[in-house]
Structure 1
Amino acid sequence: MYNSEITKASNFVQGVDTAFLVILGISFIFLIGLTVVMLYFVYRYNKKRNPKPTQIEGSVKLEIIWTVVPFILTMFMFYYGWAGWKPMHNPPKDAMEITAYGRMWNFSFEYDNGRRSDTLFLPKDQPVKLNLVALDVLHSLYIPAFRVKQDMVPGKKDNFMWFEPQQEGTFELFCAEYCGLQHSYMYTYVEVMEQNAFNDWLTDTTSVASSIAAAASPTATGRKVMQNIGCFACHSIDGTKLVGPSFKGIWGETQTVTTGGEKREITVDEDYVRKSIFDPNADIVEGFGKGLMVTYEGQLSDEDVDNIIEYLKSLSDHEE
């Protein structure tokens, strides 16, 4: 449904909406017009009113009209579509660059200063260029209020989208390309704020804040890290079998895994957890498939892994 409150959410709203309304308007005109003509012909040439079929000769004039007129209308629609699409591929040189990572099944965003977030925080009236990186399969980053959507193709170079947020508020962001079992989990938000508020958020010393939080509660920090990178889309904490093994009570357990084509018994300890995070296809737990998880090498620090380990230990101490 069209929401008038977000008609100026980004610089592309007007162009996309104009193209949409032009194409929709022309389509409705033809739908109504052709329906009326069809009903008139049904009435005018039915068997009762026209008992003897009449052969109608061709008309060059009519042929030219119904060829030229649709062509002109098609070019008219093409112009508005092209005018709305072309600027999307020419980001300003001073655009702020953010790297958007898509993986099964979550988004994360990395800023120039190294800060990461599972929510996209943006300054109002500042051009933003999102460099799109798919870490496993095809995804599609879609922000409906901004009228922007772009596929995230694994291995594709120079894959980006850009826009300029023009209204403060919270807007939906989700994956618009079916990417597997938990596709619907790829859902987050865009937070647009004034430049000063964004600067405060961006320069907030997250390393200091994170280290304080980790020292106070590494277990809670570990859970937050796992939530941010989408672990709970594939692994339950209540014993339910999902895409991967449940985390409930897993710490210290003996697991049967396949390593290099051979089965063996392993104990879930720190070494196993680290290897599973950075080389997930080395040891495949019995009953689960290979290739369903990609490495987090370069995305998680040693401190992040330490906190994850503490959280996994807590799931063996008590039920969540």
Structure 2
Amino acid sequence: MFPQSLNPVQQVDFAFYIIFGFSIVVLICITACMVWFAWRYHHTRHPKPADFDGNITAEVLWTVIPTIIVMGMFYYGWQGFKALRSVPANALEVKVTARMWSWAFEYPNGKRSNILYVPVNQAVRLNMTSADVLHSFYVPAFRIKMDTVPGMETYAWFKAERKGEYDILCAEYCGLKHANMLSTVAVLPEKDFENWLTRQSNSGGAAKAQALMETHGCTSCHSLDGSEGLGPTLKNIYGKSRKVILPDGTLKEVVVDEPYLRRALFEPNSEVVQGHDPIMPSYTDTMSKDEVDSVVNWMMNGNQTPVEEGRRLVQEEGCISCHSTDGSEIVGPSLKNLYGSERVILKDGVEKKQIADEAYLRESIVDPLTLLTKGYDPIMPPYELEESRMTALIEYMKSLSDKSAPAPENKEQ
């Protein structure tokens, strides 16, 4: 039996015990009546059948008693249902996204995890949805079982009163790897949870810098992949020559070095890149010195995303449920030596050969059915990822391929 650590859990269990108890009593009564009737009205005692005209008392009893039993079971079942749907006002809200075949949990500060970390003795509200098909979020220890529906938000809540780890499963058949759609509820002491929630990823400075740029809104205007936005792209920005317009209207050419990057953060409108509007705010009072150093160092060092960050994301987003990293086949192609390889794809029903370069990897993640590899089923859902996370995934996939092979141009034959 799972630990009964929650008030809603106790109410649900009590409703179950009431229903189970009624069922046992009814079973015993019916069995006893059958045995008694078989003995009392045996043909040796009653060789001639008797006529019964009706019995008002019996009719009242078999109408009233079942009604009382059913209403009693309904009442206690309703009490258990209300306990699960009445979320306390101070509950910690966590966004739960289900996809084939993994769970992703996102916290109010933007931190994401594939394990549900929660503090002990605090109510937690789970706002749930699905990115692809119908799933069912099931935590037996907390008596939670709620469907996650594409395009719809459902919810459930619980409050853990003891620390520990509890299984998360999918209770709705959702495809080939349904049985592997597993995770864990990790209940931590309040202080440990706060430390985890506020701790930066230990995967390296690049991950920290990208998280800072997302937090401070930099990536809303500046892309990380080379595409133009409201502001210049940050991809490989260091060392390039830029034409900037000074406050007096003078056009000047500058080289993007460390002083320039720091000026761009503290006095962005003193040197506006030609072709862009002077709309960037100053980060003098917004970013700390350590945060500025982290962002500047990231832009100076080739914008490299650590492989460790990509490896973590592959696990977090559930990619390894279908794609191995050692060359073995699961449901989809292995990620080992995928980058740079020649693929036979089905595009608009026609077989074509294409090199798996960076553009191919990006399109395969965003819209996987357009570049379906021959021999595999069209079951991969599309992923909408922030640019930094997309870059991390691609860099990790590149690291799994032979670095001695040149990265080929994207081409079709």
C-alpha distance in structure 2 between counterparts of 1:180 and 1:257, whole Å:
23
Q: 1:7 is matched with which residue?
A: 4
Q: 2:180 is matched by which residue type in structure 1?
A: Y
Q: 1:47 is matched with which residue?
A: 43
2:87/2:125 contact within 8 Å kept: yes
Q: Deviations over 1:270-311 (max 9, x none)?
A: 221111111111111112233x11111136723322333234
C-alpha distance in structure 1 between counterparts of 2:118 and 2:402, whole Å:
35
Q: Does 1:263 align with 2:351?
A: yes
Q: 2:385 is matched with which residue?
A: 298
What secondary structure sits across from 1:282 in the alignment?
A: helix
Q: Pick the aligned partner of 1:99 from 90, 95, 101.
A: 95
C-alpha distance in structure 2 between counterparts of 1:226 and 1:314, whole Å:
19
Q: 1:194 is matched with which residue?
A: 189
Q: Pick the aligned partner of 1:164 from 159, 168, 184.
A: 159
| Number of aligned residues | 309
Q: 1:211 is matched by which residue type in structure 2?
A: G
Instruction: Give identity over the alignment, percent.
Output: 40
1:139/1:152 contact within 8 Å kept: yes
Q: 1:78 is matched by which residue type in structure 2?
A: F
Report how far residue 239 of structure 1 moved: 4.7
Q: 1:108 is matched with which residue?
A: 104
Q: 1:119 is matched with which residue?
A: 115
Q: 1:279 is matched with which residue?
A: 367
Report how far residue 168 of structure 1 moved: 1.2
Q: 1:251 is matched with which residue?
A: 339
Q: 2:203 is matched with which residue?
A: 210
2:345/2:353 contact within 8 Å kept: yes
More displaced, 242-251 or 223-232? 242-251
Evaluate the alpha carbon distance shift between residue 246 and residue 305 of structure 1 in structure 2; reply closer, same or farther with a 3 A threshold.
Answer: closer
Report how far residue 223 of structure 1 moved: 3.0
Report how far residue 256 of structure 1 moved: 1.1
More displaced, 274-283 or 48-57? 48-57
Report how far residue 314 of structure 1 moved: 6.0
Q: Does 1:152 align with 2:186?
A: no
Q: 2:315 is matched with which residue?
A: 227
Q: 1:66 is matched with which residue?
A: 62
Evaluate the alpha carbon distance shift between residue 198 and residue 285 of structure 1 in structure 2; reply closer, same or farther with a 3 A threshold.
Answer: same
2:206/2:306 contact within 8 Å kept: yes
Evaluate the alpha carbon distance shift between residue 238 and residue 308 of structure 1 in structure 2; reply closer, same or farther with a 3 A threshold.
Answer: closer
Q: 1:134 is matched with which residue?
A: 130
Evaluate the alpha carbon distance shift between residue 122 and residue 95 of structure 1 in structure 2; reply closer, same or farther with a 3 A threshold.
Answer: same
What secondary structure sits across from 2:105 in the alignment?
A: strand
Report how far residue 238 of structure 1 moved: 4.9
1:250/1:316 contact within 8 Å kept: no
1:220/1:311 contact within 8 Å kept: no
What secondary structure sits across from 2:401 in the alignment?
A: helix
Report how far residue 216 of structure 1 moved: 11
Report how far residue 246 of structure 1 moved: 2.9
Q: 1:178 is matched by which residue type in structure 2?
A: Y
C-alpha distance in structure 2 between counterparts of 1:311 and 1:190, whole Å:
31
Q: 1:144 is matched by which residue type in structure 2?
A: P
Q: Does 1:38 align with 2:34?
A: yes
Q: Which has the larger radius of gyration?
A: 2
Q: 2:162 is matched by which residue type in structure 1?
A: Q
Q: 2:79 is matched by which residue type in structure 1?
A: A
C-alpha distance in structure 2 between counterparts of 1:202 and 1:316, whole Å:
40
Report how far residue 62 of structure 1 moved: 0.9
1:219/1:314 contact within 8 Å kept: no
1:11/1:166 contact within 8 Å kept: no
Q: 2:380 is matched by which residue type in structure 1?
A: M
C-alpha distance in structure 2 between counterparts of 1:170 and 1:289, whole Å:
35
More displaced, 115-124 or 213-222? 213-222
C-alpha distance in structure 1 between counterparts of 2:320 and 2:191, whole Å:
34
Q: 1:267 is matched by which residue type in structure 2?
A: I
C-alpha distance in structure 2 between counterparts of 1:299 and 1:168, whole Å:
33
CA RMSD of aligned residues (A): 2.4
Report how far residue 217 of structure 1 moved: 9.5
Report how far residue 22 of structure 1 moved: 0.6
C-alpha distance in structure 1 between counterparts of 2:402 and 2:20, whole Å:
56
Report how far residue 36 of structure 1 moved: 1.6
Q: 2:332 is matched by which residue type in structure 1?
A: G
C-alpha distance in structure 1 between counterparts of 2:327 and 2:308, whole Å:
20
Q: 1:174 is matched by which residue type in structure 2?
A: L
C-alpha distance in structure 1 between counterparts of 2:99 and 2:329, whole Å:
20
